[in-house]
Amino acid sequence: MGLDIGSHSVKLVSLRACKGDLPFELTNFGLAELPDEAIVDGAIVQPDAVSQVVAELLDQHKVKSKQVAASISGNAVIVRRVDVPRMSSQELRDTLPYEADSHIPFAIDEVDLDFAILDDDEDNETMDVVLVAAKRDRIDEHVGVIEHAKREAKVMDIDAFAMQNAFEFNYPERQFEDVVLLNLGASIINMAVLEGGRPVFWRDIAVGVRQYVSELGGQFMLDETDAEEVLRRIGDSGSSPAAPLDSSTLADWSEEGEEGASLGDAADDPRVRNCIAEVSDRIINEIRKTFDFYQAQSAKEHFDAVFLAGGGAHVADLSSRLEEQLGWPVERFDPLRRVSIPESGFDPEYVWENGPQATVALGLALRGVIE
């Protein structure tokens, strides 16, 4: 079972091995929104409220499994690729605090450390290692919430790694391409870069879908629920050019809402669409900055594809704008591409619509069935 506790919602995916053309079957799939400000900047500030949402989500779906794979991200996590003298895995684990000290901007006694060795060329005097450090208090927050919901946090991963895991499972025919994975969450974008199937770069970008909601609320006096609904409606209506600015007025739907105007009118207002386009450009600019940082360290100039996951995958025109500005093909990530979905017990439209948001949860669930 994978449980992705994000800043806006909790996502649940559980799998079981099955026979047939697809290796796994979906047994549980669900999302539940969190109260406002329950999680701020990745920190769980309302642990009782978050535990309650987790427990209710698991109860709603009648989940019996007690073991959970979860993950964290954000400013409490550092991922670095480093070269270290060649040694065995056990030797590296024994010396990890000393190797990490010069690469981690946290006090070593405040973090949990782990690593993965990327190369297996024993002829080299050094080896390429992914070093991960996560603040222990952030881990303890998530473990505490899960335990309070009467479950066991069996695995604690990193969002970007879980997304990469989901990609490698779902797109085996594209394992040797150069790809960028972007999980657009409410407050953070997780990025992972693979060159020829080899993981080379990970970064969390501190922007997200909540910027659309905040901007719509500020400009058009919408509460958060209505702003999210307008954003969803525009996404569902597909991409379309902005209409002339005088084709409708703000008062038609915002000030006269009590007289029958609907949020569908808001979704058709050209000023609303232009507002969303402006936020998309700001988000793309932050993504471009991260690419610039990465490309300053790499000779790679072209990618075969950019995959969009998370709630931001549905935002109208975002993928086309991203494709235009980056110059690489942009595709919607399907985390359930190689998962069998039983006809009974699941609403196909609901699963398809919310699938991209469950990318991290799917990658976490795979931790329990692949290894």
Amino acid (one-letter) located at 110: E
How do strand 305-309 and strand 198-205 relate by DSSP bridges? Answer: unpaired
How many CA atoms lie within 13 Å of 356's alpha carbon, on the beta-carbon side? 19
* Distance in angstroms (rounded) separating the CA atoms of residues 24 and 49: 32
Euclidean distance between CA atoms 253 and 267, whole angstroms: 10
Task: Report the relative pairing of strands 152-158 and 126-135 from DSSP bridges.
Answer: unpaired
Residue 354, helix vs strand vs coil: helix
Provide the pLDDT for residue 371: 43
Long-range residue pairs from 163-166, CB within 8 A, at least 24 positions apart, any chain = 163/190, 163/192, 163/309, 163/359, 163/360, 163/363, 164/192, 164/194, 164/199, 164/363, 165/363, 165/364, 165/366, 165/367, 165/370, 166/309, 166/333, 166/335, 166/359, 166/360, 166/362, 166/363, 166/366
Residue by residue, pLDDT tens for the chain (371 residues) are: 999 999 999 999 999 999 888 999 999 999 999 998 999 988 999 999 999 999 999 999 999 889 999 999 999 999 999 999 999 999 999 999 998 998 999 999 999 999 999 887 778 889 999 999 999 999 999 999 999 999 999 999 999 999 999 999 999 999 899 999 999 999 999 999 999 988 999 999 999 999 999 999 999 888 888 888 888 888 766 544 343 333 344 445 554 444 444 666 777 788 898 999 999 999 999 999 999 999 888 878 889 999 999 999 989 889 999 999 999 999 999 999 999 999 888 998 999 999 999 999 999 999 976 54
Q: What is the pTM of this model?
A: 0.91
CB count, 10 Å around CB of 73?
29
User: CA–CA separation, 329 vs 319, rounded Å?
Assistant: 9
**Which tokens belong to 147?**
């335990």
Q: Report the run of H or E that residue 231 belongs to, with start and end.
A: helix 224-236
pLDDT recorded at residue 135: 96
The dihedral over CA atoms of 227, 233, 235, 236, expressed in degrees to the nearest 10, equals 160
Q: Are strands 2-5 and 330-332 parallel, antiparallel or unpaired?
A: unpaired
**136-148 helix and 47-60 helix, angle to the nearest 10 degrees:** 50
Paired tokens of 88: 């065995």
Q: What amino acid is encoded at 195 in this protein?
A: E
Neighbours of 348 (CB within 10 A): 9
Edge-to-edge order in the sheet of strand 77-85: 77-85, 126-135, 111-117
Cα–Cα distance for residue pair 8/209, rounded to 1 Å:
10
AA identity, residue 225 = T
Instruction: Report the 10 Å Cβ neighbour count for 235.
Output: 21
